[in-house]
Amino acid sequence: MDVTLTSASDGGSAQAMTRLDNLFDLARATTGFMPDNEGEALYLAAERAGATFGDSTFVEVGAWCGKSSVYIGAAAEKTGAVLFSLDHHHGSEENQAGWEHHDTTLVDVGTGRIDTLPHWRRTIVGADLELTVIGLVGDSPTVSSRWSTPLAFCFIDGGHGEEPAWADYRGWSPHVVMGGWVAIHDVFPDPADGGRPPYDLWRGALDSGEFVEDGECGSLRVLKRVRNG
């Protein structure tokens, strides 16, 4: 793992380790778009945020079937934080029929639309994380525009088109407290590896002077707020 993140979980009780191993196993087995090593780095980044700010609040944008929710949820549970896991659960543009990341097993036969909410719920119930991971079902910009709770940690992995990605960054990053962290997924410096918008967000965050790099693993980039906008 090429992260600069270090785990505060080392030296935990045998029981705590078992719980974490269990959650990692569940996360690995959950349908989604998060390689195992990036998921563990995501856990470490969230755990650091939870340990730094007591009683804190996390948001993830883009939950799909709950894979990343379990990694972040594990960190929230360990540190006494609460994770609000946001998704309209109808999939992004790139998840729709005819696109690369479409999965016909996730289509609701009643509506003909993707519906990952039942899968997300099964994941969270199966992980016994219902008191720690709260689902927010709706459109990200609509929710962010009404949001007012300061965030210790925000994970951005929603729609990857230019408009939705920037809307997520502009809508959620202002809620991240000084010294808190934003993590962005699918940041690919080489355009041959993936779409531009997540990379552009990451660059924009650094160029703004509000955030500095503070950990990475694969396409996961972790940024720390050092200045208010």
Catalytic-residue membership of 160: yes
Are 162 and 197 in contact by the 8 Å Cβ rule? The answer is yes
Give the interface segment with ligand SAH, choosing from 74-82, 87-95, 125-133, 195-203 (CB under 6 A): 87-95
Give the interface segment with ligand SAH, choosing from 4-12, 85-93, 172-180, 221-229 (CB under 6 A): 85-93
Could you tell which of Mg ion, ligand SAH, none binds residue 186, using a CB distance below 5 to 8 A set by kind? Mg ion
- Residue 123 engages ligand SAH in binding (rule: CB under 6 A): no
Are 107 and 98 in contact by the 8 Å Cβ rule? The answer is no
Are 73 and 124 in contact by the 8 Å Cβ rule? The answer is yes
> If phi over 0 gives left and psi between -120 and 50 gives alpha, with beta otherwise, what is residue 211?
beta
Q: What is the DSSP string of 205-216?
A: HHHTTSEEEEEE
Q: What's the token pair of residue 217?
A: 């693993």
Could you tell which of Mg ion, ligand SAH, none binds residue 78, using a CB distance below 5 to 8 A set by kind? none
- Residue 47 engages ligand SAH in binding (rule: CB under 6 A): no
> Minimum distance between the CB of residue 135 and Mg ion, rounded to whole angstroms?
18
Alpha-carbon dihedral angle through residues 2, 196, 136, 117, given to the nearest 10 degrees: -90
- Residue 33 engages Mg ion in binding (rule: CB under 5 A): yes
Are 195 and 13 in contact by the 8 Å Cβ rule? The answer is no
Look-up: residue for tokens 């563990």? Answer: 40
Among 157, 168, 210, 214, binds Mg ion (CB under 5 A): 157
Q: Which residue is at the shortest CB distance from ligand SAH?
A: 32
Q: Which is nearer to Mg ion, 70 or 79 (CB)?
A: 70
- Residue 87 engages ligand SAH in binding (rule: CB under 6 A): yes
- Residue 24 engages Mg ion in binding (rule: CB under 5 A): no
> Minimum distance between the CB of residue 226 and Mg ion, rounded to whole angstroms?
25
Q: Which is nearer to ligand SAH, 92 or 173 (CB)?
A: 92
Are 56 and 177 in contact by the 8 Å Cβ rule? The answer is no
CA pair distance 117, 130, nearest whole angstrom:
14
Give start and end residues of each alpha helix (H) in 30-159.
36-52, 67-79, 117-126, 140-146
Could you tell which of Mg ion, ligand SAH, none binds residue 159, using a CB distance below 5 to 8 A set by kind? ligand SAH
Q: Which is nearer to ligand SAH, 17 or 159 (CB)?
A: 159
Q: What's the token pair of residue 73?
A: 């949820």
Could you tell which of ligand SAH, Mg ion, none binds residue 79, using a CB distance below 5 to 8 A set by kind? none
Which residues participate in catalysis according to the annotation? 160
Which residues contact ligand SAH (rule: CB under 6 A)? 32-34, 62-64, 67-68, 86-92, 116, 139-140, 157-159, 164
